[in-house]
Structure 1
Amino acid sequence: MFGWLWQKNTALSAVVDSFSKTAFPSAATSVQQAPFLVLDFELTGLNPKKDHIVSMGWVPIRQQEIVLAEARHYLISSPVSVGQSAVYHGLHDHQLRQGLELSTVLTELLSQYAGYVFVAHHSQLDEQFLRTACQRCFAKTPRFKFIDTLKIEWQRLLRQGKVVKHDALKLPSCLQRHGLPKMANHHALEDAYSTALLLLSQLKPGGDNMTLADLYLLSR
């Protein structure tokens, strides 16, 4: 009677295994040739141990071009009420009842973007939630490689001798500094798209010679 559950768990586990076996681009790869996937999550809170992802957006970048045809935005059903977090992301419990299961969205993500370098603004938080989500859904977590546009911007400002003021590293401030369009804040897809624009702007000074190794160094 539990055969269907065993088959489902085995299939989900295989998704993680396949992702883990796919090699990332070498550190010597030019950033112009590296495939990136820019991610953003909206959350019920900031603690990955007790809070949950309620929406997910992503935008691929290949050969330094944003692939809008593959941009995705999903509402995700939550096992808990969004509570006061609705003030920030504007999503409410009745909307999330129509959302997808987290495992469904993660399966698409891991199946289609194995071998991609993931990108986020303040990536430490997103990576923690992604790892926790994989552990909850698959009982295992693959290895990810993340680039953090917030840390890249911090390094850029320091090299220019500028004092990094309060809120200077928030996404809207970074977009304004780079002359990029303003977007609605706290919408997973729009924030992912904005972060993709920011990354491409940050990569310009590196020119043709910039490698993933250089980018990882800037993102530490």
Structure 2
Amino acid sequence: MFSWLLGKNTALSKHVDTFSKTSVAPASTPVQQAYFLVLDLELTGLNPRKDHIVSIGWVPIRHQEIVLSDARHYLINSPVSVGQSAVYHGLHDHQLKSSNDLADILTELLSQYAGYVFVAHHSRLDEQFLRIACQRCFGKTPRFKFIDTMQMEWQRLLRQGKVVKHDALKLPSCLKRHGLPDMTNHHALEDAYSSALLLLSQLKLGGNSMTLGDLYLLSR
């Protein structure tokens, strides 16, 4: 049994190797030509080492167009109870018992979106959870390249000389500021779609000369 499990993990880890070896477009690439994958996670808590992913949603952007036909939303079978986190994302233990295995969803993510620049609102948290989830499932951690729409918004407001309060950087506040439709908060697919709209608005305000390198700097 142990040898079977070891062989399975070795086979799955190949997806991590392929993902990490696939080159992301260079920093000089104009943003109009870049491929992005905007994603959002719902979680049992905020500690990546003890909490778990309970749902994931993603929306691709290619050549500054949202590709809704490739958008995905999955519920994840969590090894722990959702506990009080259900208050935020509305998911309960009974909904997750027969849901998707995390390794299967990560395999799809890594195999289909190698070479994409990943995007999230407050990306540091999402990246940490994804890295640890891959380590748990595959024994390896991919080399993700992330852009953070929250950090980009913070930089934009600072350059305008505005005092930035914490609530001003939450996704609903950013959507309102950009004149974008308000969405149901804490639904992985809707938040991913909202973040995709926000990214496109930020790119438009940034002008036609923006490159991926510019976005990386704004996301620090």
Query: Deviation of residue 2 (structure 1)?
Result: 4.7
Amino acid at match of 1:179: G
For 1:157, the equivalent position in structure 2 comes to: 157
Amino-acid identity (%): 81
For 1:204, the equivalent position in structure 2 comes to: 204
Secondary structure of residue in 1 paired with 2:168: coil
Cα offsets for 1:180-214 (capped at 9, x unmatched) = 00100000000000000000000012222110011
**What is the alpha-carbon root mean square deviation over aligned residues?**
0.9
Amino acid at match of 2:177: R
* Match status 1:112 vs 2:123: no
For 1:179, the equivalent position in structure 2 comes to: 179
For 1:48, the equivalent position in structure 2 comes to: 48
For 1:61, the equivalent position in structure 2 comes to: 61
For 1:76, the equivalent position in structure 2 comes to: 76
Amino acid at match of 2:94: H
Cα offsets for 1:141-160 (capped at 9, x unmatched) = 01111000000000111111
* Match status 1:121 vs 2:154: no
Secondary structure of residue in 2 paired with 1:209: coil
Distance 1:140 1:36 in 2: 23
Amino acid at match of 1:190: E
Distance 1:80 1:205 in 2: 43
Distance 2:170 2:27 in 1: 28
Distance 1:46 1:32 in 2: 34
Secondary structure of residue in 2 paired with 1:140: coil
Secondary structure of residue in 2 paired with 1:127: helix
Q: Which runs of 5+ in 1 are unaligned?
A: none
For 2:138, the equivalent position in structure 1 comes to: 138
Amino acid at match of 2:30: S
* Match status 1:189 vs 2:189: yes
Distance 2:46 2:120 in 1: 15
Amino acid at match of 1:136: R
How does the TM-score come out when normalised to structure 1?
0.98
Q: Where has structure 1 moved over 3 Å in runs of 4 or more?
A: 1-4
8 Å Cα contact 2:120-2:148 kept in structure 1:
yes
For 2:32, the equivalent position in structure 1 comes to: 32
Distance 2:89 2:148 in 1: 21
Secondary structure of residue in 2 paired with 1:38: strand
For 1:95, the equivalent position in structure 2 comes to: 95
Distance 1:15 1:23 in 2: 14
Distance 1:47 1:215 in 2: 27
Secondary structure of residue in 2 paired with 1:55: strand
For 1:213, the equivalent position in structure 2 comes to: 213
Distance 1:27 1:167 in 2: 31
Distance 2:3 2:162 in 1: 61
8 Å Cα contact 2:158-2:164 kept in structure 1:
yes
Cα offsets for 1:150-183 (capped at 9, x unmatched) = 0000011111111112300000000000000010
Query: Deviation of residue 99 (structure 1)?
Result: 1.1
How many pairs are equivalent?
220
Amino acid at match of 2:162: K
